[in-house]
Structure 1
Amino acid sequence: MRRLILLATVAAVLAGPAPAQEAPPNATALLFETNQLANAPAGQALTYRYTRFSGIEGAPFGPPVEDRIREVVAPGASPQTRNLKVEMFSGERRMPTATYEDVPGNPVLVRFLEHHLDDLARVLKGNPRYIKNAIRRALRESASVTATEVTVDGAKRPGWRVVARPLVDDPVRDRLRGFDSLTYTVVVSDSVPGQIVSIDVRATSPEGGSLLQETLTYEPNAG
C-alpha cells in the first residue's frame, strides 16, 4: 500500500500542477466589447432563425412567429472589422435594412434586444429604456458566465453561457405581471462566425405557463 501511495505521489510530481481553468470573462465585455466578426468571412452571410411564442390569453404579443435575420458580410477597413447589411424578418414583418460600417462587434444581439424591448414595453405599457437599463445593470453586476460546449461541424467546441435575470429583484416587480421572471441566456463561441450561437429569453407565470419565449439561433448552413 505504501509503495502504491509513493508511486502515485511521484507520478503527480512528475506530471506537474494541473492546468488552471480559464477564468470566466465579464458578461458585458464578452457580449458587447469583443471582436466578434474577425472570424466572419467577407462575402458570405450569417443567418439566424428567430422564434417567438406567448401563452398569454388574448395574444398581446400576436401569433407565434418563426422568421429569419440575415447579415450580409463585406470587408471592413481592417482585417478585424466588417461592413454589414442586416436584413431583419420577411413579408409584413420586414424591417428596413440596417447598414453598419467598419464594425468589430456583431450587431445581431443589439437588434434582437431592441425589437424584444419594443414589444415588451408595448405589452407592459412601460418604458423600454427602464428594462434596457435593468438588463445592462444585470449584465454588469449579477449575470453568471459559465463555460459550455457548442457543436460545430459535428465536433464539440468551447463556448460561454451568459445568464441574466434583470427584473427578479426589481422594486416594481409586483406591477410586471409575472415578467419579473424574465431570464436572458446568451451562448457565444469563437468557433462560430460572428460568435453569437443563440439567444433565449423566457418569462414564466407563477403557475408555470409561458408568458414569453423568444429565441435567436445561428444557422450554419443557411447562407
Structure 2
Amino acid sequence: MRLTHVATALAVILCAPTLVSATETAAPAQANATTPAVVNAPKTGSPNAGDLLFEQPQMKNAPPGSTITYDYLRRSGIAKGPFGAPLQDTITIKVEKGKQPDARDMDVTMFSGLNRRPAGPFEDMTGNPIVPLFLENHIMALSKVLEANPRYLKLAIRKGLREKATVTPIKVSFGDKDVDAWRIEMRPFEGDAQSQRMRGLDTLTYTFVTSPSVPGEIVSMEAASKNGEGGELLEEKLGYEQKAG
C-alpha cells in the first residue's frame, strides 16, 4: 500500500485546489514553540499553510531505524463529558527506508491498550502521517459531539487553511539550540453559518508548528476552544517528544 486511505482522503479534502464552500452540506520534554521571535519573514513571503502541512517531504530527515514519539492530550470541560474522559497517551512512528530517497515505510502505534486506534502501515511515503491521523481523529470526535457531517467539518478546515491561516516565522527549542520554525494558526469556524449549532466550539483555534530541523518536521499540533467565561471546552494537542529519541 503506497498510502493509507485515511491519509490520502484527508490530504485531498484539505488541500485540493478547487474552492468548495465550508457551508456545503455534506508536554514536558517536547520541542515547544516559543513566543514568535523578532524575525523577518522571507522576502518571498511566508509559505502556504497547506503546503507546510501536506506537501513537504517531511520524513526525509527521519533516519531509517529511528522512532518518532508524540505526546498526546485531550480533555474537555463540557458538561456530561461528550468527548469522554481525559486522554493522555502517546503515538509512535517506527521509520524504515522506503523505495525513494526521501520516502519512508512507517509503522504507527496510535495510543495504547483500550485507547488503541488503527493507523497504517504507511509505505513509501514522504509526508508525516501524524498530520492526517491527528486531524481525522479530531474531526471524528468533533462530528459525534456536534452531530455534524464530518465532511462539513473537513471542508471548513480546508477552507480555513487556504483563507484564514496566518503563518509566522518563530524559533523552537530543539536539542541544545533554538531552530527556525513556522507557526500556523487559524479559526476555521469563526463566522460559520452553522455556528449557533456548535455549542461554542466555533471558537476552535488550530495551531500547528513545523520545523525542518525536527525529525518528521511536525513539532506540535493543537485544537483548543474556551467559552466566554474562559472555561475550557476542548483542548486537544500533541507534541514531539525529544527524550524518546
The two structures share one fold, judged by TM-score above 0.5: yes
4+ aligned runs moved over 6 Å, structure 1: none
How many pairs align? 206
Corresponding residue of 1:108: 130
1:201 paired residue among 205, 208, 223: 223
The AA in structure 2 aligned to 1:157 is V
Corresponding residue of 2:90: 68
Corresponding residue of 2:171: 149
Contact residue 41 and residue 169 of structure 2 kept, 8 A:
no
Note closer, same or farther for the CA distance 1:60–1:191 as it changes in structure 2 (3 Å cut): same
Q: What are the ranges of 5 or more consecutive residues in structure 2 without an aligned counterpart?
A: 1-39
Note closer, same or farther for the CA distance 1:124–1:74 as it changes in structure 2 (3 Å cut): same
C-alpha separation between the residues in 2 aligned to 1:149 and 1:22?
A: 19
Note closer, same or farther for the CA distance 1:62–1:220 as it changes in structure 2 (3 Å cut): same
CA shift for structure 1 position 19 = 11
User: RMSD value over aligned CA atoms?
Assistant: 1.5
Identity in percent:
47
- Residues 134-160 of structure 1 show CA distances to partners (whole Å, capped at 9, x for unaligned) of 000010112000001111112000000
CA shift for structure 1 position 21 = 4.5
Q: Does 2:50 correspond to 1:28?
A: yes
CA shift for structure 1 position 23 = 2.2
C-alpha separation between the residues in 1 aligned to 2:194 and 2:81?
A: 24
C-alpha separation between the residues in 2 aligned to 1:21 and 1:209?
A: 40
2:236 paired residue among 208, 214, 217: 214
CA shift for structure 1 position 98 = 1.4
Note closer, same or farther for the CA distance 1:152–1:129 as it changes in structure 2 (3 Å cut): same
1:37 paired residue among 39, 59, 83: 59
Contact residue 108 and residue 120 of structure 2 kept, 8 A:
yes
TM-score by length of 2: 0.81
Contact residue 119 and residue 133 of structure 2 kept, 8 A:
no
Q: Does 2:211 correspond to 1:189?
A: yes
Corresponding residue of 1:122: 144
C-alpha separation between the residues in 2 aligned to 1:163 and 1:202?
A: 11
Note closer, same or farther for the CA distance 1:31–1:20 as it changes in structure 2 (3 Å cut): closer
Note closer, same or farther for the CA distance 1:30–1:92 as it changes in structure 2 (3 Å cut): same
Corresponding residue of 2:7: none
CA shift for structure 1 position 57 = 1.1
- Residues 179-206 of structure 1 show CA distances to partners (whole Å, capped at 9, x for unaligned) of 1100000000001000000001101112
C-alpha separation between the residues in 2 aligned to 1:136 and 1:19?
A: 24
The AA in structure 2 aligned to 1:123 is V
Corresponding residue of 2:107: 85
Q: Which moved more, 1:22-31 or 1:160-169?
A: 22-31
- Residues 107-146 of structure 1 show CA distances to partners (whole Å, capped at 9, x for unaligned) of 1010011011111111111111111110000101120000
Q: Which moved more, 1:210-219 or 1:95-104?
A: 95-104
Q: Which moved more, 1:95-104 or 1:181-190?
A: 95-104
- Tell which structure's C-alpha radius of gyration is larger: 1
Corresponding residue of 1:166: 188
C-alpha separation between the residues in 2 aligned to 1:97 and 1:113?
A: 13
Q: Does 2:79 correspond to 1:52?
A: no
The AA in structure 1 aligned to 2:156 is A
Relative contact order, higher structure (CA 8 A, sep 6+): 2
